[in-house]
Structure 1
């Protein structure tokens, strides 16, 4: 149960970070030199969210199997 809570918090943090990086990457006030950095941050946040979601799902399957 505690593990699922930690994964849920991490998942929400990664999703927020990914959304903010994507928003800033599209914002016209951001300089062109920062756009690739924000795109990489957005993709990294999305990847971490997927990994956290996969870990949470596999953790629940393990708990149900017991």
Structure 2
């Protein structure tokens, strides 16, 4: 809701910039999509490495 209010204020102050932002947002979303997928993959690799490092402690009953 707050984002919509900011967009309305931008539309009132400078409508060409608001329309440009509205039209370019899907393109920006598509460009950043591979980086989000890469971030999810890197986070998964780090979780796997952490699980492998902590496995002996978990097997021995550590917290």
TM-score class, shorter-chain normalisation, is 0.3 to 0.5
Larger Rg: 2
Answer 1 or 2: higher relative contact order, Cα 8 Å, separation at least 6. 1
Using structure 2 for the length normalisation, give the TM-score: 0.45
